[in-house]
Structure formats: C-alpha cells, structure tokens
Structure 1
Amino acid sequence: MRAFDETTQALDEQASVRTELQPVDHAAFFDTLDAPPQATPRLREAFAGHAARVLST
C-alpha cells in the first residue's frame, strides 16, 4: 500500500488538474472505452478534415 500512496502523492504533486469520477461515471466511462459507439457521419467528417489539415510526425 505504501507504493500506491507514494505514487498517488507524486501524481498529485505533478498534476495541475485531476478529475475524480463518481462510481457510476467511472463505470460509464470505462464501459464506453470497452465498447465504443459507432462513429457518426459528423465525426467521420471531422477526422477527415483533421487529416487534411494536420501533418503528424
């Protein structure tokens, strides 16, 4: 448990913003990561526009 506490403290000291989720929000967030919804046409357009404007390295 000491390692966890030390890691948490180090992250707290380095992070300017920390988001803490309620259990119901935590579950919804990770459920969505595990099974993301299908991309909408608008999202596909946004990705295409981004790819046309941004050069990634």
Structure 2
Amino acid sequence: MEAFHDEIREIEERSGRTTLRPVDIAFFAAIDGPPQPTDRLRASFARHAQTVASR
C-alpha cells in the first residue's frame, strides 16, 4: 500500500497539489491495517449466511 501512496504523491506533484483531509488519511490507514472483526460482526455474517440465499 505504501507504493500506492507514493504513486499518488508523484501524480499530485506532476498535476498540481492535492491536500488530504484527516478523514482521507483515516481511510487509507483502515485499508492498510483493517481492524480485526468483532464478535458482533462475526455473528452478523453467520446470521446472513443462514437467512440469505446466495445466487
């Protein structure tokens, strides 16, 4: 993912300046290191698998 950030910075330097907001930085941080699923999320996926028919 660091290569992705480097590529974005290079493109920004060539085309103009783009400033990332704190929410943008948080988004990339979540992609780089997503949190572990909680028990509630695991239970939700289990309920979904039991109640929804996949196509």
User: Normalised by the size of structure 2, how large is the TM-score?
Assistant: 0.57
User: Normalised by the size of structure 1, how large is the TM-score?
Assistant: 0.55
Paired with 2:26 and 2:44, the residues of 1 have a C-alpha distance of 24
**How much identity, in percent, do the aligned residues show?**
47
Long gaps (5+) in structure 1: 1-21
Number of equivalences: 36
Match of 2:22 among 24, 31, 34: 24
Paired with 2:47 and 2:35, the residues of 1 have a C-alpha distance of 21
Match of 2:36 among 22, 35, 38: 38
Long gaps (5+) in structure 2: 1-19
| Larger RCO: 1 or 2 (CA < 8 Å, sep 6+) | 2
